[in-house]
Amino acid sequence: MKIRLLGVRGSTPAPGADFVRYGGHTSCVAITPSGESDPTLLLDAGTGIRSVTELLSGPAFHGSILLTHLHWDHVCGLPFFGAGDHPASSVDVHLPAQLRCSGRDLLARGMSPPSFPIGPEDLRGNWTFRAEEPGARRIAGFEVGCADVAHKGGRTYGYRVSDAHGAIAYLPDHNPARGRSDRALELIAGVDVLLHDAQFVESERAMADDYGHATVNDAIALAVRAQVGTLVLTHHSPTRTDDELDLMAATVSAPMPVIIGREGQVLEVNG
């Protein structure tokens, strides 16, 4: 499979000259099955999802979106996804079940008047919204597992996506210092690529705990414990400049390859 990072910022977009090299869009990853040209599975729908449209061979998206949780920075791109909001689109959205609400109603808590001019049902094309419990299922041609992870302010999932050639795990919002469940550890164990929250550095530990995120050291410790192949640090602080991320890349130390996630970056996962 091919994974393309389309948004690597957390909390809010980061525009401006200091954020050009790593990019300022919020969380979104596009996954393309082996042997195909178009992505069929999207992880999160931050502002980075707008870039999916230009990757497609046609005007409409046909596939699925996995939302880790419903914080603004992970869903605010959804109504601005041109190939999704298209009469010919077919989009299946999966999100964490909670509050005894339907998937549509959960999303509408932030996407409906007076907070937003339209509701989920006003998106053009064929959309479904599924509130999912943890577990394993087949989605968009991939085997997908999801489990609860520790994060503040609403139910949050981590995802494992695999095919015959390899596996990745995606935990962009995770505070492992608050607890690492056995199910979460199973989710990431032995994956070829782990994309993990690295919004804070160790000197910002108190802030990481306040907001429910990981430090770079947290992410590395988790990757070591899970014996992952490559660690991709993502969900960068919106105040972390390109120069600061360059310094992180030059100084980070781990027993596996560590990549500082960069918007537009493409990784091939072949086991």
CB 81 within 8 A of CB 75: no
CATH number, residue 91: 3.60.15.10
CB 47 within 8 A of CB 12: no
User: Is 8 domain-assigned?
Assistant: yes
User: Is 75 domain-assigned?
Assistant: yes
User: Is 221 domain-assigned?
Assistant: yes
Task: List, for residues 102-145, the tens digit of each pLDDT value.
Answer: 999 999 999 999 999 999 999 999 999 999 999 999 999 999 99
Residue 203: which of 211, 215, 213 has the closest Cα?
215
User: Is 85 domain-assigned?
Assistant: yes
User: Is 225 domain-assigned?
Assistant: yes
Mean pLDDT of 229-246: 98
136: left (phi over 0), alpha (psi -120 to 50) or beta: beta
User: Is 178 domain-assigned?
Assistant: yes
**pLDDT of amino acid 271:** 75
Task: List, for residues 146-158, the tens digit of each pLDDT value.
Answer: 999 999 999 999 9
User: Is 271 domain-assigned?
Assistant: no
Q: Over 80: is that where the pLDDT of 63 sits?
A: yes
Q: HEC states along 23-75?
A: CCCECEEEEECCCCCCCCEEECCCHHHHHHHHHCCCCCCEEEEECCCCCHHHH
Domain total in the chain: 1
- Phi, psi (5° rounding) for residue 91? -130, 125
d(CA 221, CA 241): 24
Q: What is the DSSP string of 149-176?
A: ---SSS--EEEEEEETTEEEEEESS--G
d(CA 130, CA 109): 15
DSSP 14: -
pTM exceeds cut of 0.95: yes
- Phi, psi (5° rounding) for residue 46? -70, -170
User: Is 175 domain-assigned?
Assistant: yes
What range defines the domain where residue 222 resides? Answer: 2-133+143-266
